[in-house]
Amino acid sequence: MEAYLDNGATTRCYPEVADLIRKTLLEDYGNPSSLHRKGVEAEQYIRRTTEILADILKVNEREIYYTSGGTESNNWALAGTAMAHRRTGGHFIISAVEHPAVSAPASALHDMGFDLTVLPVDREGRVHPEELRQAVRKDTLLVSVMMVNNEIGTIEPIEEIARIVHETNPDTVFHVDAIQAFGKCRILPGRMGIDMLSASGHKIHGPKGVGFLYVNDRVRLRPLIYGGGQQSGMRSGTDNVPGIAGLGLAARMMYDHLEENRTHMYALRKRLADGLSGLDQVVIHGPSDPAEAAPHILNASFLKVRSEVLLHALEDRGIYVSAGSACSSHKRSGSPTLTAVRCPREEMESAVRFSFSDMTRPEEIDYTLEALRELLPALRRFTRR
């Protein structure tokens, strides 16, 4: 049996999405910038996806810009804001649990002379709203806080954060990394006070290499990529029609079944959490209230077993999990999120992330628990030797 429990890293494409991508590669393969029929056919795929995303988010179609994925969207949000204010400088705020796609460009901007504040979080990974209020200054250009933490699944109080940002400084832009939230949560930027929002296709059963950045009309943002003037000059380059088409269909399918998918994934999360609670020396990270966690992520430490050892032992059984987030699993440094929530080193070194999708079956959870019951005693005996 195979159990794929690494959906936080990437998801399997919906068959319908793969079929659509194939059609755009082999039949409707025109350049959407071309004026002939083939170009118009290709452009229609982009228009349809823009309609879908604007409808899901309840925003204007002109506020959607396509990128190569979540990392580019996050980089553009921060660096594009900095470039728009490069003559005056300014101040950025991020949380201590941001994905490297936010924390790395923020650090780079700091090296270039911009001020940077990194907000601490509580033991469950949440930003303290009042500490944020104290951190916002007259020259604060942007605040970036993720909606769903990619490692422990904490849902941040986004609406409260947005309200504080805009009350304290109406000129400050609020950016949300929604890469783990889009497709799993209802997101309405206008109602929630979000000025920019990043999302990625391959987290929602769409293709890799495509994402989008929502940018409210009032936001001053400079392009990072110049060239042929595509996307109103904001992001030049031949449009990725297969990726954009696949992103749109995947998003539509996810949101057409959002509530049933959430119910299914929360049930899987509970099933796994209940099973882990019966095992010795297991610590589950994240919110104590499951309703305050995302439905598709559960992070646990298996004390006295290193993450990589357990990951490969499970892999030998056809079970696929992650030692932290996929983007940082090859690095030797400790998890930024587990460090920020003040996990002991022993827990950090033994942490594993399980992540689900609407395709995950309860049998996969049961198979994983059975494997853990067999593997953990043996691995701990081996470690003691």
pLDDT of residue 328: 46
Domains (ranges, CATH) in the chain?
Answer: 3-11+258-376 (3.90.1150.10), 15-256 (3.40.640.10)
Tens of pLDDT, residues 284-320: 999 999 999 999 999 999 999 999 999 999 999 999 9
pLDDT of residue 87: 79
Closest by CA to 224, choosing from 74, 102, 91, is: 74
Ranges under pLDDT 70 in the chain: 324-333, 383-385
pTM for this predicted structure? 0.95
pLDDT of residue 385: 46
Strands (E), 43-171: 64-67, 91-95, 115-119, 140-144
For residues 3 and 272, give the distance between their C-alpha atoms in angstroms, rounded to a whole number: 13
pLDDT of residue 74: 98
pLDDT of residue 86: 81
pLDDT of residue 382: 73
Mark whether 327 is an active-site residue. yes
Q: Are 246 and 207 in contact (CB under 8 A)?
A: yes
Catalytic residue among 13, 185, 327, 343: 327
For residues 77 and 70, give the distance between their C-alpha atoms in angstroms, rounded to a whole number: 11
For residues 137 and 168, give the distance between their C-alpha atoms in angstroms, rounded to a whole number: 8
